[in-house]
Amino acid sequence: MRITAAEMLGVQVTPRTNWCFLLIRTDAGLTGLGECTLSGEEAGLAAEAARLGARVAGEDPLLRNRLCPAPPHAPGGLVAQTVHSAFEAALWDIAGQAQGAPVHRLLGGALRDRITLYANINRGASPRTPEGFAAAARRAVAEGFLAVKLAPFEPLIWLEAGGEARAQHAAYAEGLARIAAVRAAVGPDVDVMVDAHWRFSPGGVAALLRDVAPFGLFWLECPVAEANLPEIRRLRGMANERGMRLAGAETLSGLGAYRRMIEAGCYDVLMPDIKHAGGHEEIRRIAALAETAGIEIAPHNPTGPVCHAHSLHLCAVLPNLLWLEVQYGETERFFSLVEGGAALAFRQGAAAAPDRPGLGVALDETAARASPWQPQPRPWLDPRLG
């Protein structure tokens, strides 16, 4: 069996969201799927996929160790790392299809058949008022989720207050109001997490930790840029003193990047994303190193169904798994864009480990090509935040 082509297929699924998939085709008729969604970088992903296809054409897709060495210094940065991660995942899909076994069985077998999920309600909240966030949280809880996450602080960027200090203070107050509304909506028995999307300075987070303490957050996520490890460690201590965890590292790639975080004691919870971190094998190495430091793993998974399916296989085999993120309430295409999508259904805040060969789902290419990706003039996340 040989690889014949690699293609990035981008799909617009809502007016503000594109999902991107990597298709690895073989002369045996098998197609492996990975997801390489990276908002605003679709053209770069397509170019990187074309370079990958030229490099791996004619290769045996079962030789993952040879084809997927980790590229820690890829000139293409996160774009290249994301395509590399999708490629590694797609090769596992091909291997599973060839052997008639789900990916998690090839990874040594599932430790659990049921993966606990938490609902990221951020894109499903409309309007983006405290009441809109509260309503989204109530919908998630009604479907059985016992934990919800929101990113409440748009459009605040703490370090850029300048002459806009009054507007920044208003955005901060609105963020706190959104958190308060969600906590009131779900009650004390549902965990609430807050994603700060690197919007704060270390001093700003110190104030934030004080202000959110009454809401009993389970964790605060990505509060500051992840280059300043001593400050993150200090903030972790402050969070722990107030009864909450600190979580992050969703856009890092490779064991080396995570090793520095683990050795510095930055986070209680690491959030490697199978789209960026290097694929199944690299995240298993990251999780193993984290386990030696007592750190839990909660994979970042806020995009499309292919990333979700791969994340389910991964979560089935991680000993130190906490739970898995899902993008809740954004679009029903999450289930309809893939054949076998019913197997991805959320049931009482959990999902089953897939049991079909390979990834367990296949992309509906006809439906995908009917709505090609579109440039996003106003990206969801301010590009200044990374």
For 285-302, the pLDDT digits (tens) are 999 999 999 999 999 999
Domain boundary among 51, 67, 101: 101
Whether residue 192 contacts residue 221, with contact meaning beta carbons closer than 8 Å, is answered with no
pLDDT of residue 75: 81
162 pLDDT more than 60? no
Mean pLDDT in residue range 270-277: 98
Which of 101, 118, 141 is the C-terminal boundary of a domain?
A: 101
User: 93 and 111 share a domain?
Assistant: no
Is 119 part of a structural domain of the chain? yes
Beta-carbon contacts of 30 under 8 Å, excluding residues fewer than 6 positions away, are: 1, 61, 94, 97, 98
Task: Kindly report the CATH number assigned to the domain that includes residue 169.
Answer: 3.20.20.120
Q: Are residues 96 and 113 in the same domain?
A: no
Where residue 77 sits, what CATH number does that domain have? 3.30.390.10
In a domain, 382, yes or no: no
- If asked whether residues 126 and 84 sit together in one domain, one would say no
Residue listed under structure tokens 């609902």: 119
Residue 59 three-state SS: coil
Q: Give the pLDDT band (50/70/90) at residue 166.
A: confident
Question: How confident is the model over 175-196, as pLDDT tens digits?
Answer: 999 999 999 999 999 999 999 9
Taking residues 150-165, report their average pLDDT: 79
Task: Based on the fold, state whether residues 64 and 167 are members of the same structural domain.
Answer: no
pLDDT value, residue 380: 65
Q: Is residue 203 part of a domain?
A: yes
Cα 271 to its chain centre, rounded Å, is 7
Are 339 and 226 in a shared domain?
A: yes
pLDDT attached to residue 293: 98
Residue 78 has pLDDT above 60, yes or no: yes
CA 12 – CA 299 distance, rounded (Å): 24
Q: Which two tokens stand for residue 295?
A: 């750190």
Query: How many domains would you assign to the chain?
Result: 2
What residues are paired with 115 via a beta bridge?
A: 351
Rounded to the nearest angstrom, the gap between the alpha carbon of residue 266 and the centroid of all alpha carbons in its chain is 19
Shared-domain flag, residues 120 and 86: no
Q: In this structure, are 195 and 316 located in the same domain?
A: yes
For the stretch 220-236, pLDDT in tens is: 999 999 998 999 999 99
Question: Does residue 170 have a pLDDT over 60?
Answer: yes
Statement to judge: residues 248 and 325 lie in one domain: yes
Model pTM score: 0.96
Alpha-carbon distance 268 to 293, whole Å?
9
Instruction: Write out the residue range of the structural domain in which residue 64 sits.
Output: 3-101
Say if 367 falls within a structural domain: no
Which CB contacts under 8 angstroms, 24+ apart, belong to 198-202? 198/222, 198/223, 198/224, 198/225, 198/226, 198/385, 198/386, 199/153, 199/156, 199/157, 199/158, 199/223, 199/385, 200/158, 200/224, 201/158, 201/159, 202/228, 202/231, 202/234, 202/235
What gap in Å lies between CA 133 and CA 130, rounded to an integer? 5
Instruction: Provide the pLDDT for residue 27.
Output: 98
